[in-house]
Structure 1
Amino acid sequence: MVKFAYTIFYVQDVVKTIEFYERAFGFRRTFIADTAEFGQLDTGSTALSFSSIDLITGEITDGFIKSDISKKPLGMEVAFSTENVEQAYQAALDAGATKVAAPSVKPWGQTVGYLRDINGFLIELCTPITD
């Protein structure tokens, strides 16, 4: 059986990124390598991880598209659910996130808002989906 272990974002500064996610969302770091090339946050059942661009460049020799806050976001996102999207959205902005789309109620009843982190990755904040 295969298990979803974690998602890794490749960033310029692992420690600075982890500090942003701690301030913005209250996550707790579980690991930062002595070299500061890799780190993880406790985000629930699946960890959110960060690795330095320099570290992965040696592994992916043909290169990859780096996230860049000055360009359009990559065609993917990480989503965090919360009962109070507006409060979490403001906390993320206060921590340095960039506004994409303010929270709004969708036709199916879910509240959803979009931000970008300090590296340009797209973040969705949403209320849990209910049956």
Structure 2
Amino acid sequence: MVKFGYTINYVNNVDDTLSFFENAFEMKRRFITDENDYGELDTGGTVLAFASHELGSTNFTGGYVSSSESDKPLGIEIALVTDDVNSIHKNAMLYGALELKAPEIKPWGQTVSYIRCPAGILIELCTAIQGEL
């Protein structure tokens, strides 16, 4: 059996990225290395983590596409579920997020917005779909 354990995003500054998620979304820091090159947030069963580009370059000698260097967001997102998309969206903007799409109600009743955090990561803020947690 395979279990989904981590999503790791490579960023310019791990500590700053953790701080953004702590401030904008009231998440708690779970771990950061003494070198500040890898850190995790306490998000429940699956870990949301960040690693420095320097650490990433040791794993991928051929390089990779950096979300912070790309003019457009990468074709992958982190979805954060909340009961109040509007206020969380506004709060994220206060801490430096770039609005990509303001909150809107989808035809199936879910409220969804899109932002790009200061590290360049695409984030969907959404309410739960009927029947989810």
TM-score (norm 2): 0.95
State the shift of 1:43 in Å: 1.5
> Aligned residue for 2:117?
117
> Aligned residue for 2:7?
7
Would the alpha carbon gap of residues 118 and 107 (structure 1) be closer, same or farther in structure 2, given more than 3 Å must change? same
Query: 2:34 and 2:65 mapped to 1: Cα distance?
Result: 26
Q: Give the % identical residues.
A: 48
State the shift of 1:44 in Å: 2.1
SS in 2 for 1:58: helix
State the shift of 1:53 in Å: 0.4
Segments ≥4 residues shifted beyond 6 Å:
none
SS in 1 for 2:59: coil
State the shift of 1:108 in Å: 0.5
Query: 1:86 and 1:54 mapped to 2: Cα distance?
Result: 35
The C-alpha deviation readout for 1:61-118, integer Å capped at 9, x for no partner, is 0110011366000001000010110011011111111100000000000000000010
> Aligned residue for 1:74?
74
Query: 1:85 and 1:59 mapped to 2: Cα distance?
Result: 36
Equivalent residues, number: 131
Would the alpha carbon gap of residues 13 and 25 (structure 1) be closer, same or farther in structure 2, given more than 3 Å must change? same
State the shift of 1:2 in Å: 1.2
Q: Which runs of 5 or more residues in structure 1 are unaligned?
A: none
Q: Is 2:11–2:68's contact at 8 Å kept on the other side of the alignment?
A: no
TM-score (norm 1): 0.96
Moved more, 101-110 or 42-51: 42-51
Q: CA RMSD in A?
A: 1.1
